[in-house]
């Protein structure tokens, strides 16, 4: 306990010194707006939410919708089509992830060109 | 009398066991794949947050394993009904058990493979970006194991209306 107390006591003056010395430099920035945009862009979040929703609803709804309309009660084909829909979601996710990376790389190349 | 021999009272037990095994084993595999590759993604995301989107592919594949198990469980459940409406034969019971076990245990195997490959592949992808195509290919081959179990279960299930 004693060691902890001394550590805390030594830590407090340090922070006080830091705030008092740099406080005058920081305080003008308080009027400016801080950057609060999220680290993950909203388009990526929308994509992920969309794929999550598709993964949950698409296969099972395909099964129940196609069971009596497309395949007239043949549950085997309806089950197969549900599995195919799950793989379609996966394939589209891979394509979207790949395209996302390529567009990011293109942006980085453009920035490098501008820097030159 | 022959009817009772072919459709004993305990026959639905095996069909219900098939439903349970499909969901339990399939979801065990999917959970392992998601958790193990999730550990790798969390490790990668600290250093390279831009790779998270592409690193999530093993998680999506593990989800598909669970969808396979769900499809078979729904399929078997659709074939079952209480006794006055349907006489459930012992053959159908064993067949549904085989459906559930084949899709469940192959799902377990595929989920295990996806988990191990996803964890290590994502970590390697952080250091060498060319490994992505190989990683996705290995993941697809691992996931196809679960698809084979689904195909066998679907073919078996056609025999229920013989």
- For B:15-74, CB contacts with A below 8 A are 49-50, 53-54, 56-57, 60-61, 63-64, 67-68, 70-72, 74
Out of B49, B60, B71, the one facing A59 most closely (by C-beta) is B71
Tell me how far apart the alpha carbons of residues A46 and A107 are, in angstroms, rounded to a whole number: 21
Residue segments in chain A with a per-residue pLDDT below the cut of 70 = 1-31, 38
Contact B71 A93 (CB under 8 A): no
Averaged pLDDT of chain B = 90
Instruction: Tell me the pLDDT tens digit for each residue of A17-34.
Output: 444 444 455 555 666 777
For chain A, what is the HEC assignment? Answer: CHHHHHHHHHHHHHHHHHHHHHHHHHHHHHHCCCCCCCCCCHHHHHHHHHHHHHHHHHHHHHHHHHHHCCCCCCHHHHHHHHHHHHHHHHHHHHHHHHHHHHHHHHHHHHHHHHHC
Tell me how far apart the alpha carbons of residues B11 and B88 are, in angstroms, rounded to a whole number: 7
Binning pLDDT at 50, 70 and 90, where does residue B1 land?
very low
ipTM: 0.74
Out of B57, B79, B154, the one facing A94 most closely (by C-beta) is B57
Dihedral angle of Cα A13, A18, A20, A24, to the nearest 10 degrees = -170
């Amino acid at each position: 306990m004693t060691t902890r107390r001394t550590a805390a006591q030594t830590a407090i003056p340090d922070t006080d010194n830091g705030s008092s010395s740099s406080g005058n430099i920081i305080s003008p920035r308080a009027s400016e707006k801080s950057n609060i945009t999220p680290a993950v862009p909203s388009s990526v979040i929308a994509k992920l939410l969309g794929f999550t929703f598709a993964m949950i609803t698409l296969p099972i709804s395909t099964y129940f919708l196609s069971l009596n309309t497309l395949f007239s009660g043949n549950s085997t084909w309806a089950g197969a089509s549900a599995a195919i829909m799950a793989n379609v979601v996966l394939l589209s996710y891979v394509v979207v992830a790949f395209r996302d990376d390529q567009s990011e790389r293109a942006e980085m190349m453009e920035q490098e060109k501008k820097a030159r | 009398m022959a009817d009772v021999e072919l459709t004993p009272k305990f026959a639905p037990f095996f069909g219900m066991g098939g439903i349970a095994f499909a969901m339990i084993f399939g979801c065990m595999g999917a959970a392992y794949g998601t958790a193990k590759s999730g550990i790798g993604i969390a490790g990668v995301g600290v250093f390279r947050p831009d790779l998270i989107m592409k690193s999530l592919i093993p998680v999506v594949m593990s989800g598909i394993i669970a969808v396979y198990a769900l499809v078979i469980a729904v399929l078997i459940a659709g074939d079952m009904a209480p006794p006055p409406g349907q006489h459930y034969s012992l053959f159908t019971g064993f067949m549904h058990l085989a459906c559930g076990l084949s899709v469940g245990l192959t799902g377990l195997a595929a989920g295990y493979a996806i988990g191990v490959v996803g964890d290590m592949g994502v970590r390697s992808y952080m250091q060498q970006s060319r490994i992505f195509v190989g990683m996705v290919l290995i993941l697809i081959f691992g996931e196809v194991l679960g698809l084979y179990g689904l195909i066998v279960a679907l073919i078996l299930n056609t025999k229920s209306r013989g």
